[in-house]
């Protein structure tokens, strides 16, 4: 018995045979050449496909191919390890660092000689121990540029959580970035050494250094498509930390214009950066408009060491909006992560500073005191030298608590706010000065602290000082009922524009770093000069005055 199959080739041959019989072909021609066999095209290698997709920034395709390799029943160990490394890099980009850590731990277990030193990014980033890979004398790893860069990254990450190790970490990350520059081409790691170096520099209070690192990474296209948006975002964050909000906004826009897919890690940084810019502009309504997007970004990204900067900014925003309870689980996760790592000063001090600012904004004294105590602990660490950021933040929190209690020491406030500005935290310094102005009863201190606050921020705050809130409004000689052409001063134009935007006196004061009482006096003077009898009339007259 002949068993026939129903493959396309068999069917085609049968059809050809039938057609020859029907036209009277008696028998096959013995001299005719045999029909060539149709071979199936070779199946694409999924490991190579995963690596190509990862290098091109196509992370969904990279994950699909890598995962398909990992479920192959008889896959070679080397293929499994290559696939695991690709999938770990994808997980890191997508905000799932714990999953990346699991893959690295698995590789270290089943193929110790293939474990990457750069796995420390995922392992320490999620609070896990880093085990030294077991050397294999029979198969030594070649000393490639990538291997050298990974070794430097792993050493740097371990140093960043040791007392006094941040300077060494920064040096190693800078050299790792330079090594990958020499290698060239796209590469998918758990994170770019330039991005990690920028995070270390920002946590040290050195935004200029962070800017320099990512500028070079952008110029050399370090790592390829997968890191282009990340480098631009961290460049913009360094600009924001340094007080250049215009450059930060331009950098954020440049990152948003990139054609690569937006993954969870980049979306979290982008929305936190935008929230930081809006917060520094004093725009409460803008923060409210961003809040839904911010919540979604946080839900998509697990808390890890490298996301503390972005999540910390959103914690401050939540405190400002009265939404602290919603972010409380994420804040607790950050605390637990730092505790698991022994509360390393480099990472813990900026995190607790964000918690302190959020507590102040939410008017939660116990929480503010808790974070101030954590900052004091960080400052007492032997690694926190006299000029370190941890020492500065601990002092700033202490001074701020004094101000909140009504004890305003002008010299102390001035020194602290100036030091904050020099560390790239001018906006926080301005907020401290504004708090001092609100709580002092000394008119001289009031004028000095308001001037100090305005001097620490850019834009409208550079306008001439306003009179003290208690100064009486100046009345024009003409009757209020006799409207006449009105030329608004620069400060009045600013107040008028914000008033027409629907902001309250308090919100306008926060934006311009003046008191709500001063805003009220400005509005009263404009109402008198314009002859506006009702609020509706005032708004119409202000629009006409601004148009003129």
Q: Which domain holds residue 92?
A: 46-52+54-115
Query: What's the CA gap between 158 and 75, in Å, rounded?
Result: 33
Digit-coded pLDDT (tens) for 346-402 = 999 999 999 999 999 888 999 999 999 999 998 887 666 656 888 999 999 999 999
Residues 263, 269, 270, 275, CA torsion sign: positive
Residue 119 CB: number of other CB atoms within 10 A? 29
Quick one: pLDDT at residue 136? 47
For residue 124, pLDDT beyond 70: yes
Asked whether residue 383 is assigned to any structural domain, the reply reads: no
Residue showing tokens 């029907």 = 22
Flag whether pLDDT at 34 surpasses 90. Answer: no
User: In the predicted model, what is the mean pLDDT of residues 87-103?
Assistant: 85
Mean pLDDT, range 149-172, rounded to an integer: 90
- Helix runs in 73-113, H state only: 77-93, 97-110
Q: What is the reported pLDDT for 476? A: 38
Provide the pLDDT confidence category of residue 1 given band limits of 50, 70 and 90. Answer: very low
Task: Say if 468 falls within a structural domain.
Answer: no
540: confidence class by pLDDT, cuts 50, 70, 90: confident
Residue 306 vs residues 122, 125, 309, 414, 536: alpha-carbon distances, Å? 9, 7, 7, 33, 50
User: Which range is least confidently modeled, 287-291, 320-324, 449-453, 506-510?
Assistant: 506-510
pLDDT at residue 296, as a whole number: 94
SS3 186: strand
Residue at which a domain ends, from 115, 137, 153: 115
Domain assignment of residue 508, yes or no: yes
Residue 469 resides in a domain:
no
341, part of any domain? no
User: What percent of the chain has pLDDT above 70?
Assistant: 82
Rounded to whole angstroms, the Cα distance separating 160 from 169 reads 6
Backbone phi and psi for residue 228, each to the nearest 5 degrees, phi listed first? -60, -45
More confident residue, 385 or 24: 385
User: The tokens 């950098």 sit on which residue?
Assistant: 251
- Asked if residue 314 has pLDDT above 60, the reply is yes
Specify the pTM: 0.72
Q: What is the mean pLDDT of the chain?
A: 81
pLDDT at 333 over 90: yes
What is the average per-residue pLDDT within 494-509?
Answer: 80
Q: How far is CA 373 from CA 324, 393, 465, in A?
A: 20, 11, 36
Digit-coded pLDDT (tens) for 391-446: 999 999 999 999 998 899 999 999 999 888 888 788 889 889 888 888 888 888 88
Asked if the structure places residue 111 within a domain, the reply is: yes
Going by pLDDT thresholds of 50, 70 and 90, the confidence category of residue 258 is very high
Q: What is the mean pLDDT of residues 30-48?
A: 61
Give the separation between CA 172 and CA 148, rounded to whole angstroms.
Answer: 11
Q: For residue 530, what is the domain's CATH number?
A: 1.10.10.10
Phi, psi dihedral angles at 191 (to 5 degrees)? -165, 160
Rounded Cα distance between 284 and 363, Å, is: 16
**Predicted confidence band at 15 (pLDDT cuts at 50, 70, 90)?**
very low
Q: Give the end of a domain, one of 115, 141, 167.
A: 115
Which residue is it, tokens 């850019």?
458
* 123 occurs within a structural domain: no
Answer whether residue 181 is part of any domain.
no
**Confidence check: pLDDT of 215 > 60:** yes
Domain final residue, candidates 115, 146, 165 = 115
Cα distances (Å, whole numbers) of residue 407 to 98, 236, 436, 449: 46, 37, 9, 14
Check whether 192 has a pLDDT greater than 90.
yes
Which ranges of 281-307 does DSSP label H, i.e. alpha helix? 284-300
What was the pLDDT predicted at 384? 61
pLDDT at 62 over 80: yes
User: Range with the lowest mean pLDDT among 108-117, 310-319, 534-543?
Assistant: 534-543
Buried b (16+ CB within 10 A) or exposed e, 314-338: bbbbbbbbebbeebeebbeebbebb
> pLDDT of 453-484, one tens digit each?
888 764 333 333 343 333 333 333 333 334 44
**How large a percentage of the chain has pLDDT more than 90?**
37
Residue reference for tokens 């490639």: 144
Q: What is the pLDDT of residue 255?
A: 96
The pLDDT, as a whole number, for residue 231 is: 96
pLDDT (0 to 100) of residue 402: 93
Looking at the structure of the chain, the number of domains it has is 2
């Amino acid at each position: 018995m002949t068993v026939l199959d129903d493959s396309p080739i068999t069917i085609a041959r049968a059809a050809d045979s039938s057609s020859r019989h029907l036209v009277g072909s008696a028998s096959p021609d013995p001299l005719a050449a045999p029909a060539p066999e149709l071979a199936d095209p070779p199946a694409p290698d999924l490991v190579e496909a995963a690596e190509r997709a990862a290098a091109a920034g196509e992370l969904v395709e990279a994950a699909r191919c890598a995962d398909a390799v990992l479920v192959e029943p008889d896959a070679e160990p080397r293929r499994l390890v290559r696939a695991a490394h690709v999938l770990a890099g994808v997980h890191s980009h997508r905000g799932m660092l714990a999953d990346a850590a699991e893959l690295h731990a698995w590789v270290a277990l089943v193929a110790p000689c293939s474990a990457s030193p750069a796995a420390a990014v995922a392992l320490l980033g999620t609070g896990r121990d880093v085990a030294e890979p077991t050397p294999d004398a029979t198969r030594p790893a070649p000393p490639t540029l990538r291997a050298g860069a990974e070794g430097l990254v792993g050493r740097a990450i371990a140093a960043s959580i040791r007392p006094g190790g941040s300077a060494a970490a920064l040096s190693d990350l800078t050299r790792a970035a330079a090594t990958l520059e020499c290698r060239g081409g796209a590469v998918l790691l758990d994170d770019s050494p330039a991005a990690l170096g920028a995070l270390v520099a920002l946590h040290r209070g050195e935004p200029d250094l962070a800017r320099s690192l990512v500028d070079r990474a952008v110029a050399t296209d370090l790592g390829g498509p997968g890191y282009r948006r990340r480098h631009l975002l961290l460049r913009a964050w360094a600009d924001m930390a340094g007080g250049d909000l215009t450059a930060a906004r331009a950098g954020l826009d440049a990152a948003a214009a990139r054609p690569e897919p937006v993954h969870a890690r980049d979306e979290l940084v982008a929305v936190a950066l935008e929230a930081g810019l809006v917060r520094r502009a004093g725009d409460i309504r803008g923060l409210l408009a961003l809040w839904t997007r911010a919540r979604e970004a946080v839900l998509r990204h697990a808390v890890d060491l490298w996301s503390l900067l972005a999540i910390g900014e959103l914690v401050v925003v939540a405190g400002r909006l009265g939404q602290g309870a919603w972010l409380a689980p994420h804040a607790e996760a950050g605390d637990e992560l730092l505790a698991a790592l022994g509360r390393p000063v480099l990472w813990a001090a900026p995190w607790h500073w964000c918690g302190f600012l959020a507590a102040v904004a939410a008017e939660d004294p116990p929480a503010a005191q808790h974070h101030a105590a954590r900052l004091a602990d960080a400052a007492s660490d032997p690694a926190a030298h006299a000029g370190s950021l941890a020492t500065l933040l601990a002092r700033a929190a202490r001074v701020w608590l004094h101000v909140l209690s009504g004890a305003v020491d002008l010299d102390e406030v001035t020194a602290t706010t100036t030091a904050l500005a020099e560390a790239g935290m001018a906006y926080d310094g301005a907020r401290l000065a504004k708090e001092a102005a609100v709580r002092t009863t000394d008119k001289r201190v009031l004028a000095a602290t308001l001037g100090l606050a305005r001097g620490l921020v850019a834009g409208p705050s550079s306008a001439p000082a306003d009179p003290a809130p208690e100064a009486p409004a100046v009345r024009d000689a003409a009757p209020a009922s006799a409207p006449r052409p009105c030329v608004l001063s620069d400060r009045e134009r600013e107040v008028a524009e914000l008033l027409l935007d629907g902001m309250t006196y308090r919100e306008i004061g926060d934006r311009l770093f003046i008191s709500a009482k001063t805003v009220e006096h400005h509005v009263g003077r404009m109402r008198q000069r314009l002859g506006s009898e009702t609020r509706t009339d005032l708004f119409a007259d202000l629009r006409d005055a601004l148009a003129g």
